[in-house]
Amino acid sequence: MKLHVNNVTVIPSADRAHWWNEWLDSKQSFPATGNFDLAGNAHGLLLVHNEDVVDSGAGFDTHQHRDMEIVTWVLEGSVVHQDSVGNSGVIYPDLVQRMSAGSGIMHSEKNGSGWRDRKPLHVIQMWVPPDENGVAPSYQESDVGTRLAANGLTTVASGMAKHREDTSVTIGNRNAAMHVARLGAGQSVTIPEAPYLHVFVAKGAAEFEGHGNLAQGDAARITAGGGYRVTAKDDAEIVVWEMHASAR
């Protein structure tokens, strides 16, 4: 059950949209499968925030996107990526990937583990709209493992001017940034101030100041606020979207 207190709404994992088939289990913070009005369900600029488990040897065959900034963050396993503008490679934990679909791009995403290895892929994929439609497609990736080892809130993808010197990859939206914190038990980070924030527990569990405990898959959506402390209950990974505009 959603819990709304002042400017914070806590979304339990079980309240997310859930879609699955024989090889994919997708838990969606915003309904994505079959939804043609993503902005209508967005929080700030965040249109899609899917936590997917993909069976070994399976994945998404070649398909098209356009006019979307797509960020992929792997929690376990690996993604084999190929696209129509010549990019290919393997995305693994610690490697953040940004694909700007722009005027149109075809790509495929597969679990890097074959059928014989039988290792699932656990991945988060997030979409925000671009500042400008119809630009040339582009791609960027960066390994942020060393930076995350510092245990602070690390900016891993941003289009905001204030992060120009400290972000790992850039996104084509000047009002959005993605941060990640990898924390040991008892360690804390402070959430920035912004008109819209989305705080997601990707691994472990954490205490969200003033709003109780968040388990894996739970999220807090914040409007016109910030400054809250998030403290890991055990080893935890926290993903935070900071947004200074809305898609609606």
- Asked if 79 and 96 touch (Cβ cutoff 8 Å), the reply is no
Q: What is the 8-class DSSP label of residue 235?
A: S
Task: Judge whether 209 is annotated as a binding position.
Answer: no
- How many other β-carbons are positioned within 10 Å of the β-carbon of residue 100? 22
Tokens of 107: 């790509």
Closest by alpha carbon to 144, among 27, 239, 218?
239
Q: Are 74 and 53 in contact (CB under 8 A)?
A: no
221, two tokens: 């959506």
Residue 163 marked in a binding site: no
Tokens representing residue 121 in the block: 């892929």
Q: Tell me if 170 sits within 8 A of 215, measured CB to CB.
A: no
Q: Is 107 a known ligand-binding residue?
A: yes
Q: Tell me, rounded to whole angstroms, the distance of Cα 134 from its chain centroid.
A: 23
Sheet hosting strand 3-5, strand order edge to edge? 3-5, 8-11, 219-225, 194-203, 236-243, 176-183, 154-158, 169-170
Contacts of 207 (CB under 8 A, 6+ apart): 213, 214, 230, 231, 233
**Is 242 assigned to a binding site?**
no
* Residues placed in the known binding site: 63, 65, 107, 109
List residues forming the annotated binding site for Fe cation: 63, 65, 107, 109
